[in-house]
A and B are shown apart, each in its own frame.
Chain A
Amino acid sequence: MLDLFMTIFFMIIKVIGITLILLLLPVPLTWLERKVAGHIQQRLGPMRVGWHGLLQPIADGIKLLTKEDNIPIYADKTLFKLAPIISLIPPFLVFVAVPFGEDVTLFGRKTGLYISDMNIGLLYIFAVAGLEVYGVILGGWASNSKYALLGGLRCCAQLISYEIPLGFSVMGVIMLTGSMSLLDIVEAQSQIWNVVYQPIGFFVFLVAGIAEAQRIPFDLAEAEGDLGSGYHTEYSGMRFAFFMLTEYIVMLTVSVLIVLLFFGGWNGPFLPPIVWFILKVGFFVYLFMWFRFTFPRYRYDQLMSIGWKVLLPLSLANILITGIFLA
């Protein structure tokens, strides 16, 4: 009885912990993004609120909270209100299946640093992550504005084209490990990281992941230059903040997945596992920001041809090559 109680108690603690971490992480991430942007452009970035502008995201949060929450007259009100929440939930759900480390002993009990170790973890993650696009499409549709609608449509087409190479690119990893559980995949990399065996798979996953996270150079859905700001043009205040939050959590998800699938997860010498994990994820988050302030946005037709003519054949070739080597 006590055992069951403790299990449930730990589970609740873990769920609350991960939710809090995910809700709070975008705060330092926005700060970091603005700092990286600033220094790449020889500016300083936020500097005035707190030490080196560290409290700037909090000031921005207060600003967003107190802003007028505007709903356009011709908008579909229910969908308009629903869309940010629909897009916010899937990124949180993804983290149910994401492990952060191996078992640790807490209060004399062994417990894993994950909520659930599903044996179809990867499948679940791709299925749930794909749902995020509904929020974006609904938001674009409900706004009843041509920019928002175009943004939603682009996002839809983009995600359909890039889910496929994204899914195919991890196939090699699954073939190597023989399991879809992320825990097994990480354990299999304790000697040599998957990126050594799967460089093509990693490349395809990285590019498709950036597209999936709607980051530059693939942020066609919110291209400021041609679409105002795409699907969230009409959003303001807290609802806009929800979309922002989603964007950052998805970026984090993609970084975490890259680390787990190709860079050995928390495996690493000398340092404790969780430190390795944070360092690796941090590097990829930084990489995304670095890309954002280096590359221009791709044109829509270029986006499509990269997805279908480059990434898809590459990922298929990767599966073939992996199969040949394994056989």
Chain B
Amino acid sequence: MYRENWLERLEKRYRWIGFTLLLDLIDGLSLTLSYLFSKTITMQYPDREKWIPYPRFRGHHFLRKFENGDTKCVACELCARICPCQCIKVVPYEDEKGNRRPLIYDVNTARCLFCGLCEDACPVEAIALGQHYEFSAYDSKKLLVGKDVLMKMPGKTEEGGKVVRARLVAGEKVFAEPQGKEGYHWWNRIRRR
């Protein structure tokens, strides 16, 4: 059985002393004061900081390319078949060497649920979901992206998960541009007492 030590017993017995001296209130005040001077966990996105997702993050799609700039896609349509939202449209054609190539490769990112099944299904690792996530638009038609756009989309980076310094770019497209790679993990700043 747990026996309280003498201090705890004293505290229990003479609790009114603490109440009279407002010790409980002082305890609360000192806690909030210590929080006042601790680091904040606010991520100043998009003005100064930006969170770079992990490589496993499922953001905007991109198509991988060969060295010569051609897409790796062989237009097998497996991605279109597995997609639960039916938002991929592939139209194949035969090029001069007799290879099957995509003539049209459209992804409707407005319908996409970013499940990543297309990435898993692809036999040649052509389509993949990258770390880009700032592509909201006022018109859902703008979210229907074609092959050219997909091939220009940024691919995956080696590492991620950190909050880095960034600059807000508010032009035709609005996004936060990362400045350098140095960063911190935001959850390291959560204070626990």
Instruction: Report the interface size class on chain B.
Output: 10 to 19
Alpha-carbon distance A44/B39, docked complex (angstroms): 9
Report whether B47 and A41 are in contact in the complex, using a CB–CB cutoff of 8 Å: no
Q: Is A15 part of the binding interface, using a Cβ–Cβ cutoff of 8 Å?
A: no
Alpha-carbon distance A301/B38, docked complex (angstroms): 36
| Contact A40 B32, CB 8 Å, known A47-B47, A48-B47, A295-B25 | yes
- Of B41, B44, B47, which is within 8 A of A42 by CB? B41
Report whether A42 and B40 are in contact in the complex, using a CB–CB cutoff of 8 Å: yes
Would you give the shortest CB distance from A297 to chain B, in whole angstroms?
Answer: 14
Would you give the shortest CB distance from B193 to chain A, in whole angstroms?
Answer: 12
| Contact A290 B29, CB 8 Å, known A39-B35, A41-B35, A42-B191 | yes
Q: Is A293 part of the binding interface, using a Cβ–Cβ cutoff of 8 Å?
A: yes
Alpha-carbon distance A76/B185, docked complex (angstroms): 56
Q: Is B42 part of the binding interface, using a Cβ–Cβ cutoff of 8 Å?
A: yes
Would you give the shortest CB distance from B3 to chain A, in whole angstroms?
Answer: 33
Residue of A nearest to B189 (CB): A42
Report whether B42 and A44 are in contact in the complex, using a CB–CB cutoff of 8 Å: yes
User: Quick one: CB contact mask for A13-47 with B, threshold 8 Å, 1 for yes?
Assistant: 00000000000000000000000101111111001
Would you give the shortest CB distance from A216 to chain B, in whole angstroms?
Answer: 12
Alpha-carbon distance A291/B22, docked complex (angstroms): 13
- Of A38, A42, A294, which is within 8 A of B38 by CB? A42
Alpha-carbon distance A48/B44, docked complex (angstroms): 9
We find that the number of chain A residues with CB closer than 8 angstroms to chain B is 15
For window 290-313 of chain A, which residues contact chain B by CB distance below 8 Å?
Answer: 290-291, 293-295
Report whether A40 and B47 are in contact in the complex, using a CB–CB cutoff of 8 Å: no
Alpha-carbon distance A140/B139, docked complex (angstroms): 46
| Contact A294 B40, CB 8 Å, known A40-B35, A47-B47 | no
Chain B residues within 8 Å of A40, by CB: 32, 35-36
Please count the residue pairs between chain A and chain B whose beta carbons lie under 8 angstroms apart in the complex: 42
User: Quick one: CB contact mask for B14-55 with A, threshold 8 Å, 1 for yes?
Assistant: 000000000001001101110111111110100100000000
Would you give the shortest CB distance from A114 to chain B, in whole angstroms?
Answer: 33
Report whether A43 and B28 are in contact in the complex, using a CB–CB cutoff of 8 Å: no
Report whether A294 and B42 are in contact in the complex, using a CB–CB cutoff of 8 Å: no
Report whether A47 and B29 are in contact in the complex, using a CB–CB cutoff of 8 Å: no
* Main secondary structure on A side of the interface with B: loop
Report whether A43 and B29 are in contact in the complex, using a CB–CB cutoff of 8 Å: no
- Of A38, A43, A44, A294, which is within 8 A of B32 by CB? A294
- Of B25, B38, B40, B191, which is within 8 A of A44 by CB? B40
Chain B residues within 8 Å of A44, by CB: 40, 42, 44
Chain B residues within 8 Å of A39, by CB: 35-37, 40
Report whether A43 and B42 are in contact in the complex, using a CB–CB cutoff of 8 Å: yes
Would you give the shortest CB distance from B47 to chain A, in whole angstroms?
Answer: 7
Alpha-carbon distance A47/B40, docked complex (angstroms): 13
Alpha-carbon distance A42/B35, docked complex (angstroms): 7
Chain B residues within 8 Å of A47, by CB: 42, 44, 47
Chain A residues within 8 Å of B41, by CB: 42-43
Residue of B nearest to A287 (CB): B29
Most B-side CB within 10 Å, residue of A40, A47, A48, A291: A40
Would you give the shortest CB distance from A105 to chain B, in whole angstroms?
Answer: 41
Chain A residues within 8 Å of B40, by CB: 38-39, 42-44
Would you give the shortest CB distance from B6 to chain A, in whole angstroms?
Answer: 31
Residue of A nearest to B22 (CB): A203
Alpha-carbon distance A3/B57, docked complex (angstroms): 79
Residue of A nearest to B43 (CB): A44
Q: Give me 7 A-to-B residue pairs in the complex whose CB atoms sit less than 8 angstroms apart, sorted by A's number.
A: A39-B35, A39-B40, A42-B41, A43-B41, A44-B40, A47-B42, A47-B44
Contacts beyond the supplied A36-B36, A42-B39: 15 A-B pairs with Cβ under 8 Å: A38-B42, A40-B35, A41-B35, A42-B35, A42-B191, A43-B40, A43-B41, A44-B42, A47-B47, A290-B32, A291-B29, A294-B28, A294-B29, A294-B32, A295-B25
